[in-house]
Structure 1
Amino acid sequence: MNSMRRGILAFFGSLVLSRPSPSRAASQPPAFAASRSSYKPRHVLCFLGKDNGLAALLQSARAAIAQFDHGFTADEDGSQNEPDDRMVRSFNICWDRVNPDAYEEADEDAVATHGCVLYMLSPPMTAETAVATSAKVLMFVQYMLDHGAVAVKGETSGVAHGVRRWKELCAQGRSAADSDDLLALAKTCRLAFARRPIGDDAEGMASVGNHLVGLPDVLVTFVRKDEQQPSTNDEQLEIAALIDEIGDQMAHEGIAAAVAARHATLSDDTRYDEDEYKFNPFGVVTIRDKKL
């Protein structure tokens, strides 16, 4: 059993079955999010492989399932042993725009020349199991990239990273698990699987996918100096940085404390229907009228 898997499974046991010891309290979340819905989120992953490579990808997926979690399932009906001409446009929309090195030309080429598509689903999650499950999903991604996958996209939030960036995130997760640092592990999983900023100037910009680590999403409405001009890339990155900062604060201090400190509001997620994968059962924290 590799060190990341061993660390995550041990951490999962401590989260669910016991109280944290004083020496580990600093790495534990103050409280789990209260669900505002009966819906339980899950990961949906899209793996691209080489020509006529679906059988090999399925074999790799079954090996990963045996190693990491028997609750993972393959959507064989939705998968296909041929290219999907929608993938280039889909990945172009979904590439992470926050990290400057999120993807490379080689990743775009791999998407353009892919030969098969495999969809995988994680087990449904609660707030208590979200980080541990997402950490297993990160390990699953690493395994698949090492065994035939040429590109990966998180369908739940609509985010994609290039191979180098995925492996960097996996290494960060492994380091956090080895150090028994749940907060660092949760942040790594959030950066891997949540997308931000999504939206527009009129309605504001938000995260999508924080429910995959058991947190509400964050919506920021804003006021610019010149309302006649659309928001710039730098302004959108400023919004993304604020979303990440609030995500860190919720994980460290607890959701109620972060909401109070930011003079924000927590409400139900009305952006998506309750049966959609993007729906956040833990709600949406809204920051209004930030000045850019």
Structure 2
Amino acid sequence: MSEAFPRHVLCFLGSGLDLSEMERIAKGFGGFVLDREYSEAEPDPRMPDAFEASMAAASFDEDDWDAVESHDTVGYLLSAPMMRELAFDTSRRLLAVTAALLRSGATAVKNESNGLAHGRDRWLALADAAADEAADATDEDLADALVTAWVKRPIYNGQVLYSCGMHLLGAPEVEIEVGGEPPAGGELLDLVAHLDALAVYLLTDPRAQEIEDGAGFRMSEDAPRWLLRTGACTRYDEDDLFFNPYGYVRLTPAG
């Protein structure tokens, strides 16, 4: 197990965004600070390409793209490096911070620690779903909202679909073997559903703390059986924001 501690680095854009006010709001949620070295009251011409590379198109509308194009201020918000047992709650609180800042002048947000961005409406909906006031939400509902908010998926490398961002929730990345042909259509949706089910399982089921190679996994009692394999994170160096010190759990076809 690596001794690296994951941390969130969030990039906020705005037009006339008050960085001092942004810092004040974030501090009210505890444990989040403005990176004064890289935050600046001037536009960054790299942002349109950076947001496009962060899967923004999945939830961006025209207003979101206009906000990126017209920004004149960039603020970077940092969490403290997160011990594993604090990561889930820290990420829940940071989602509330994100919503508060979007309602107070920020216009676009992406996460440098997983390469993921959402449109304004998606961020706010996810924050509402994860809020303390969502009394009817189950543990699985909360986990699903946080996975959607903070975990980039699916990423395809020619052999597996995998995630990036589970380290921000204190859990291994999730992967699923797909062979050599890029999945598409209904097959892709089914594989992503398996990834998401495994992610929620890792975050909510106590048995997930003791996964052994070769253990079985099913979406439901009558669904096809998969085998679980574990391994260390080798895609990124330990000093990379994407690095997951908890490794990965991979679904492989049984038989």
Match of 2:142 in 1: 185
Provide Cα deviations, 1:33-81, integer angstroms capped at 9, x if missing partner: xxx211111111000010xx25x1331222331x210x21211111221
Match of 1:170 in 2: 127
Provide Cα deviations, 1:170-211, integer angstroms capped at 9, x if missing partner: 1101157645844432331121011001133x2322000011
Normalised TM-score (structure 2): 0.86
Match of 2:170 in 1: 214
Q: Among 44, 48, 60, which residue is 1:84 paired with? A: 44
2:123 and 2:212 map into 1 onto residues whose CA distance is 29
Does the CA-based 8 Å contact 2:159-2:179 persist in structure 1? no
Does the CA-based 8 Å contact 1:130-1:213 persist in structure 2? yes
Q: Tell which has more relative contact order, 1 or 2 (C-alpha 8 A, sep 6+).
A: 1
Does the CA-based 8 Å contact 1:246-1:258 persist in structure 2? no
Does the CA-based 8 Å contact 1:61-1:144 persist in structure 2? no
Match of 1:285 in 2: 249
Does the CA-based 8 Å contact 2:143-2:204 persist in structure 1? no
Q: Percent identity?
A: 37
> How is 1:247-258 mapped onto 2 (pairs within 5 angstroms)?
247-253=199-205, 254-255=207-208, 256-257=210-211
Structure 1 residues 92 and 235: CA distance shift in structure 2, 3 A: farther
Aligned partner letter, 1:89: D
Q: Among 138, 144, 165, which residue is 2:101 paired with? A: 144
Does the CA-based 8 Å contact 1:250-1:257 persist in structure 2? no
Match of 1:18 in 2: none
Does the CA-based 8 Å contact 2:171-2:202 persist in structure 1? yes
Structure 1 residues 123 and 182: CA distance shift in structure 2, 3 A: farther
Match of 1:7 in 2: none
Does the CA-based 8 Å contact 2:11-2:111 persist in structure 1? yes
Does the CA-based 8 Å contact 2:5-2:81 persist in structure 1? yes
Deviation at 1:290, TM superposition (A): 8.7
Deviation at 1:234, TM superposition (A): 4.7
2:49 and 2:193 map into 1 onto residues whose CA distance is 26
Match of 1:19 in 2: none
Show structure 2 runs of 5+ residues with no match. Answer: 218-226
1:175 and 1:191 map into 2 onto residues whose CA distance is 17
Match of 1:266 in 2: 230
Deviation at 1:169, TM superposition (A): 0.4
Match of 1:68 in 2: 29
Normalised TM-score (structure 1): 0.76
Does the CA-based 8 Å contact 2:13-2:108 persist in structure 1? yes
Does the CA-based 8 Å contact 2:128-2:134 persist in structure 1? no
Show structure 1 runs of 5+ residues with no match. Answer: 1-35
Aligned partner letter, 1:60: M
Match of 1:110 in 2: 67
Structure 1 residues 198 and 58: CA distance shift in structure 2, 3 A: farther
Q: How many residues end up aligned between the 2 structures? A: 243
Deviation at 1:257, TM superposition (A): 4.7
Give the number of the structure whose residues are more often helix, by fraction.
1
Provide Cα deviations, 1:255-281, integer angstroms capped at 9, x if missing partner: 235862232111111111111111111
Aligned partner letter, 2:109: V
